[in-house]
Amino acid sequence: MTVATIASHQVRAGRTTELGLLVLALALGVGAYALVGLGTADAVPTNWLGYAIGLTVLSLALHGVLRWRAPYADPVILPLAVGLNGIGLAMIYRIDLAEETGFSVRQLTWTALSMVLAAAVLVWLRDHRTLRRYTYVAMLAGLVLLVLPLLPFIGATINGARIWVRVGGVGLQPAEFGKIALAVFFAGYLVSNRDTLALAGPKLLGLQLPRARDLGPILLVWLVSLGVLVLERDLGTSLLFFGMFVAMLYLATERVSWVVIGLALFAGGAAAAASTFGHVAARFDVWLHALDDEVYARSPGGSGQLVQGLWGMASGGLFGTGWGEGRPDLVPYAESDFIVASLGEELGLTGLMAVLACYLVLVQRGLRTAIGVRDGFGKLLAGGLSFVIAVQCFVVVGGVTRLIPLTGLTTPFLAYGGSSLVANWVVVALLLRISDEARRPAPAVRTVTPGGGTPTGGPGTGTPAHGTPVVTGTPVGPGVGRAGGDGDDDQPTEVVRGVPR
């Protein structure tokens, strides 16, 4: 038997690492912008320098805000968000050049606005636990934002989905902001009620079933999601909300039964919707029989867009055509819904895999933050927000690559759309805030030992410095250092379990 010894890991603040990664990410965004010009017109775009300076200043400003207000925030999140946003901007600009539209200028404005808003969130929100006070306000806000598009005058139907609100000439998708509000509500609600949801109830076939009255909230959320699906005809958003709730329920209770119940409700809802509503049935038809002539030629609701996206990615091959060398503009909505197919065509499988890996790392950092943070509310919020990013990627990329039926969700950071961009930058700001809390060294070590204490330097007494060798001789007692660290009511004493042997 080999006995393993646990030594606490020394967290590095990582701001310098972040700066290095940020330079790489900026090089990607700005380089792509230049390459688009070179590929289409053999010249660097005239506004390239201004664009480069603008993006750099904004990113460095955000980096500065992190140094100032969240010095222990995760060093990987910001560069990945900047990189993805830059790649998205370049692709939208590229589609603009081909179709002579003006999306990229508006997307640039939205990018600037989003990054300023993210900085504002980081400056004003000093502790994510403040949000827990607004649990039910967040619920109300989330529901109002969901219902807003249904109201007369300000609601608008675009492309068959009534998910838009027009205010002063600017179109917004309130559901994008609603997802943040509802994530706050779910986290606050579940952290208070998880024990009844997890422990009470009968056991059936090894599944711990919840009590009937505890089913209330999940049924309510299910009904709201169905309402969104029926009244706003938006498959993606309803899927996103329901998925987020089930995932957070599972995170809070560790009960597989909730996942089973959630999947059963989802399957039932989807089957009912597919047999009742024409537009949902058409989506299934397009997914299953995309290459049939009859389905391809049908208009509207044919599979033409999907199949052309597939051909686009096929012509991209392994290494892509290169920025500005392909024809991604042949696919309708190449700058928003099908931006993944556009990237697949111009960057190839290699590039698309790298983009997906960026998302993977981003989501992993979010989930790691959820594991690391010490309060239950933060855990659920970080877990829920990361899951939202993950499920959006899965639904969009799965839809475009014909793994699942196509639904109308936006690709985070890449796709054209102001609401989505702003909402995702706020999500990133929240994740950064929580990760700062998660990675910050535990405040003070309290070792009360009657009869003369053992001098124990628990995890994270001194400020870890770069290049300091990790002293494995640090006495380790999980719980020795952490016990009674923070005074929040639901912060369990951290203990190390299950040492690998």
- Single out the segment in contact with another protein by CB under 8 A; choices: 97-105, 240-248, 307-315, 318-326: 318-326
Contact 357, 331 (CB under 8 A): no
Contact 274, 280 (CB under 8 A): yes
Tell whether residue 448 is a contact of another protein (CB under 8 A).
yes
- Single out the segment in contact with another protein by CB under 8 A; choices: 4-12, 61-69, 226-234, 395-403: 4-12
Contacts of another protein in 325-354 (CB under 8 A): 325, 347-348, 350-351, 354
- Single out the segment in contact with another protein by CB under 8 A; choices: 45-53, 179-187, 332-340, 445-453: 445-453
Q: Which of residues 15, 39, 54, 143 is near another protein by CB under 8 A?
A: 39
Q: Which of residues 19, 38, 52, 113 is near another protein by CB under 8 A?
A: 38
Contact 91, 343 (CB under 8 A): yes
- Single out the segment in contact with another protein by CB under 8 A; choices: 61-69, 277-285, 405-413, 453-461: 453-461
Amino acid residing at 312? G
Tell whether residue 258 is a contact of another protein (CB under 8 A).
no
Instruction: State the nearest-atom distance from the C-beta of 480 to another protein, in Å.
Output: 6
Tell whether residue 313 is a contact of another protein (CB under 8 A).
no
Give the Cα separation of 160 and 5 in Å (integer): 60
Name which of 217 and 322 has its Cβ closer to another protein. 322
Q: How many CB atoms lie within 10 A of CB 191?
A: 21
Q: Which of residues 149, 210, 302, 320 is near another protein by CB under 8 A?
A: 320
Give the Cα separation of 499 and 501 in Å (integer): 6
Tell whether residue 315 is a contact of another protein (CB under 8 A).
no
Instruction: State the nearest-atom distance from the C-beta of 345 to another protein, in Å.
Output: 12
DSSP secondary structure, 293-334, as one string:
HHHHH-TTT-SHHHHHHHHHHHHHTTT-S-TTTS-GGGSTTT
| Binding residues for another protein, total number by CB under 8 A | 82
Give the Cα separation of 373 and 365 in Å (integer): 12
Tell whether residue 493 is a contact of another protein (CB under 8 A).
yes
Count of residues for the chain? 501
E-strand stretches of 19-72: none
Q: Which of residues 120, 170, 264, 357 is near another protein by CB under 8 A?
A: 357
- Packed helices 216-231 and 256-276: angle between N→C axes, nearest 10 degrees: 30
Q: Which residues pair with 158 in a beta bridge?
A: 161
Instruction: State the nearest-atom distance from the C-beta of 268 to another protein, in Å.
Output: 39
Instruction: State the nearest-atom distance from the C-beta of 389 to another protein, in Å.
Output: 15
Give the Cα separation of 36 and 42 in Å (integer): 9
| Residue in this structure with the two tokens 């830059």, named with its chain if needed | 86
Q: Which of residues 130, 202, 484, 486 is near another protein by CB under 8 A?
A: 484
Name which of 10 and 193 has its Cβ closer to another protein. 10
Tell whether residue 230 is a contact of another protein (CB under 8 A).
no
Tell whether residue 75 is a contact of another protein (CB under 8 A).
yes
Tell whether residue 469 is a contact of another protein (CB under 8 A).
yes
Contact 71, 13 (CB under 8 A): yes
Contact 281, 229 (CB under 8 A): no
Tell whether residue 17 is a contact of another protein (CB under 8 A).
yes
Contact 430, 70 (CB under 8 A): no
Tell whether residue 489 is a contact of another protein (CB under 8 A).
no
Contacts of another protein in 375-394 (CB under 8 A): none
Give the Cα separation of 136 and 80 in Å (integer): 32
Tell whether residue 7 is a contact of another protein (CB under 8 A).
yes
